[in-house]
Amino acid sequence: MGSFAATQVNLNRGRSLLVVWSDNTRTKPLDVRNLGSAWKTREGIGIGTELSELRKKLGDFKLYGLAWDYGGTILLDSSKLSSYQGKLILRVDTAPNAAQKYPNDYKAVSGDRTFSSSNPNWKPLGIRLAEIIVVLNPSQ
């Protein structure tokens, strides 16, 4: 990805964000990330939203396996939020010690492939939404 200029914005409790600029002149924002806990999508999805709640709002969706560059990224085109495809990046992660506590489940949903959100191996891992990136100017 290379290095980009970025501006940290802290409005008030839970409303922080990081603007990543497309170049060093800081005239065109690339995306907004590191969203604080107060930010929510129209559907009420925010940092910390649990997998069961995500499935209620998104339907049964697909996501990439854990433990690699795109680990935990939700494939929005497989969900009820397909209109956000290319505009929003949602990424989940496990509870902090899940890989140690449930190594078999963790391994079963890891790696560079897609899994269904209904896969039973997700259940013990304490999956929650960990990252939201709002894409403002997608690269061509």
pLDDT tens profile 37-64:
999 999 999 999 999 999 999 999 999 9
- The Cα-based distances of 56 to 1, 8, 67, 72, 117 in angstroms read 33, 32, 25, 18, 11
Number of other residues whose CB lies within 10 A of the CB of residue 90? 24
pLDDT at 4 over 80: no
Query: Is residue 2 pLDDT above 70, yes or no?
Result: no
Residue-wise pLDDT for 89-135, tens only, equals: 999 999 999 999 999 999 999 999 999 999 999 999 999 999 999 99
Position 139 confidence tier, pLDDT thresholds 50, 70, 90? low
